[in-house]
Structure 1
Amino acid sequence: MLRLNQRHNREQMLHAVAQLQERLGGPVPTSELTLMARGNLLPPAASMMTLTSLEADRQLGVAQAADVGSEMAGDRS
């Protein structure tokens, strides 16, 4: 039951972040995620550890995009 509740809270948090990303037209700054967590706009399960995880996921996505970009640039030369 606890695991199901955690999954539901995570889904709610990801939905809230996705809505904000849509409004901003891009990635949500970590500072904004922190403010959302402090203002209880995210479910209680959205701890700083979770926010750090989201930021790490975002950075990984940026790094992967950079890798793809450099590979594409290498293919052109």
Structure 2
Amino acid sequence: IYNLSTGKDYSMLEMIKALEKALGKIIAYKECLRQPSDLASVYADSTVSAKELRWKVQRGLDDMGRYLWRWQSNNPNEFQ
């Protein structure tokens, strides 16, 4: 199993902003206090992928937001 990632952790706010750009709309959200079970950050280490597959990051968060929205728009019934 290989992790394919940027190796960077993104905040929820950064992800929301990237999706807003992709949608061309403002996303309503509410900031709440962190819950004890919330992780401070989550990201994948793609060192093994880079070494064994010679894989490297080619896209950023904004690109991923656009791709996610395009996929969801083309597959509206996938997650019901």
Question: How does the TM-score come out when normalised to structure 1?
Answer: 0.32
More helix by share: 1
Q: Which has the higher contact order (CA 8 A, sep 6+)?
A: 2
Question: How does the TM-score come out when normalised to structure 2?
Answer: 0.31
